[in-house]
Structure 1
Amino acid sequence: MSKAIGRVAYKPVGVLLGIAAGTVAGAVFRQIWKLTAGDGEAPDATDEDRGWGEILAAAALQGAIFAVVRAAVDRGGAVGVRRLTGRWPE
């Protein structure tokens, strides 16, 4: 399989994995926020009743979880493509 064909073949897989990663990361964040903050809902940036510290902590936690989940899903997808095709996706 040529590089161009491999890249095109991996695009839809990458998009689906990205959607799955976002869904998983959101679910993980909500559960961790519930456990750590004791509150069912994470603060919105425009929530008038929440302080800067809480809003920024929630954003940092959410960003970190999303980055880790996305990296794990991307890496797993690339490993799966290599197993199927024998080539690392680019």
Structure 2
Amino acid sequence: MNAAKIAYTPVGVALGALSGMIAGALFKQTWKRIGHEEDTPSARDEDRTWKEVLLAAALQGAIFAVVKAAMDRSGATATRRMTGTWPG
């Protein structure tokens, strides 16, 4: 295991947790604007339509994926700047 990979491991864990919190907050705000309501749909909420539940799930997944990729890429770039090696 190279030094960059070792240095990146705790950074990656911290960024993963942070990206989850950011993505969750961003999804809630996005859903408030799209759905015009506070609560996000749950798959087991019988008062919600299939369309609403699946749209919310797809949107949540997309937001989480984009935020995670951006945070992970930023962390890898910062690690390369500090160590001179990409943490592949």
Normalised by the shorter chain, which TM-score bucket?
over 0.9
Q: How far off is 1:7 after superposition?
A: 1.5
Q: TM-score, normalised by structure 1?
A: 0.93
Q: How does 1:1-90 map to 2 (within 5 A)?
A: 3-90=1-88
Q: How far off is 1:74 after superposition?
A: 0.5
Number of paired residues? 88
Give the secondary structure class of the aligned counterpart of 1:43.
coil
* Offset from partner CA, 1:41-64 (integer Å, 9 cap, x none): 111111111010000000000000
Counterpart CA distance in 2 for 1:67 and 1:73 is 10
* Offset from partner CA, 1:18-74 (integer Å, 9 cap, x none): 000000000000000001110101111111110100000000000000000001001
Q: How far off is 1:4 after superposition?
A: 2.6
| Long gaps (5+) in structure 2 | none
Give the secondary structure class of the aligned counterpart of 1:27.
helix
Task: Tell me which of the two structures has the higher relative contact order, counting C-alpha pairs closer than 8 angstroms and 6 or more residues apart.
Answer: 2
Counterpart CA distance in 1 for 2:85 and 2:3 is 11
Counterpart CA distance in 2 for 1:9 and 1:82 is 10
Percent identity reads 56
